[in-house]
Amino acid sequence: MNLDTPYSELSPEAVIDALENSGHRCDGRVLALNSYENRVYQIGVEGGDPVIAKFYRPARWSDAEILEEHAFSLELAAAEIPVIAPLVGLSATPQAGSTLNSHDGFRFAVFPRRGGRWPELGTVLDREWVGRFLGRIHGVGRARSFKERKTLDSQALGRDARNFVLDQDLMPDYLAVKYEELTDELLMEVEEKAALWGGARLGRILGDCHRGNILWTDLGPHFVDLDDCLMGPAIQDLWMLLAGDMQEMAKDLRDLLRGYEQFLPFDRRELALIEPLRTLRMVHYSAWLARRWHDPAFPKAFPWFAEPRYWEEHFRALQDQLRAMQDPPIEL
């Protein structure tokens, strides 16, 4: 398999063959869902509800890391926390008893289909509800540690990501030196504040808790993707749900924590990590696109990434972020 085009051989027929091989009798319906890091499909099943199959990007995770993600999902589901856990392989299949399947070099997991809508989080009650949801997840997450999954790391998300971007020669020459100088200053601020991680209580967290990974129904929220779960501080799963100016974020965070602390205390010192974590996400996002640029799906989906305008806007956003990093942290 050519890792520059990792999904070139994953045709609809290959997807159906993989699902049939794992014991699911498909009815021929295959719908590609919106996903770039992995490939995700809704697949019709004879005599039953459709299922969701996630084909993991080759060489990204080890089998042990994927199985640890699955075990965390199943542990949360066993505690009656609404996450979508993978299905165990059917009894007569080669993958019987496992949540991780393989076929023709691809590793995949099968999930039940669960619908829902984008969470607006526009009311106090909705924000408190999500806070309770995360408090329950983190309560289970602190019961033990990951052994295979990563720990949130400012070096990997910051310096390593920044250096990779510079090595790819993607941005205009007139920005490269200024970008290096600016990110040096930013990452020094991050590394100084990241020393707080040593005092923060680390646990198993979702890692990528943005609204796109939460679906809402009349029964409340459920989380649909634990692909980026890792060891980290609680605030990592809270800050991405905030929006607006400092006052609006403080209001939203108060509501989230009102629900969260019904299940788990929250260390207020972690509030100082919000802007460092935002900085790391901004730097890492550009590196993520750069690392995936040889996958044909990425230039098609993100054509603006190769344009000077993207890098100019990214540079200005990092300048704004440096000022935010130097301001006092959010207050509740």
Q: Are residues 64 and 173 in the same domain?
A: no
Indicate whether 283 belongs to any domain.
Answer: yes
| Residue 32 domain boundaries | 12-112
Strand (E) or helix (H) holding 274? helix 274-291
Q: What is the pLDDT of residue 91?
A: 47
Q: Are residues 302 and 175 in the same domain?
A: yes
Q: Are residues 273 and 213 in the same domain?
A: yes
Better pLDDT: 22 or 262: 262
Indicate whether 202 belongs to any domain.
Answer: yes
Burial (0-12, 13-18, 19+ Cβ within 10 Å), 322: middle
Q: Are residues 72 and 220 in the same domain?
A: no
Measured between alpha carbons, how far apart are the two ends of the chain, in Å?
51
Average pLDDT over residues 152-170: 94
Q: Are residues 203 and 290 in the same domain?
A: yes
Which neighbouring-strand residues pair with 106?
103
Strand (E) or helix (H) holding 133? helix 124-141
Domain endpoint, select from 77, 112, 147: 112
Indicate whether 155 belongs to any domain.
Answer: yes
Q: What is the pLDDT of residue 7?
A: 92
Indicate whether 276 belongs to any domain.
Answer: yes
> Residue 85 sits in a domain of what CATH number?
3.30.200.70
Q: Are residues 97 and 192 in the same domain?
A: no
3-14 pLDDT, tens digit per residue, is: 667 898 999 999
Domain endpoint, select from 82, 112, 142: 112
Q: Are residues 104 and 133 in the same domain?
A: no
Q: Are residues 168 and 261 in the same domain?
A: yes
pLDDT above 60 (res 137): yes
163-214 pLDDT, tens digit per residue, is: 999 999 899 999 999 999 999 999 999 988 877 665 678 999 999 999 989 9
Q: Are residues 170 and 287 in the same domain?
A: yes
Indicate whether 6 belongs to any domain.
Answer: no
Indicate whether 1 belongs to any domain.
Answer: no
Can you say how many angstroms the Cα of residue 87 is from the centroid of all Cα atoms in its chain?
Answer: 20
Tell me the pLDDT of the chain averaged across its residues.
92
Domain endpoint, select from 81, 112, 143: 112
pLDDT above 50 (res 326): yes
Q: Are residues 303 and 168 in the same domain?
A: yes
Exposure on the CB side of residue 228, measured as CA atoms within 13 A: 15
Active site residues: 208, 225
Residue 45, SS3 per DSSP: strand
54-82 pLDDT, tens digit per residue, is: 999 999 999 999 999 999 999 999 999 99
Lowest average pLDDT, out of 1-15, 235-249, 308-322, goes to: 1-15
User: Are 121 and 250 spatial neighbours (Cβ–Cβ below 8 Å)?
Assistant: no
257-275 pLDDT, tens digit per residue, is: 999 999 999 999 999 999 9
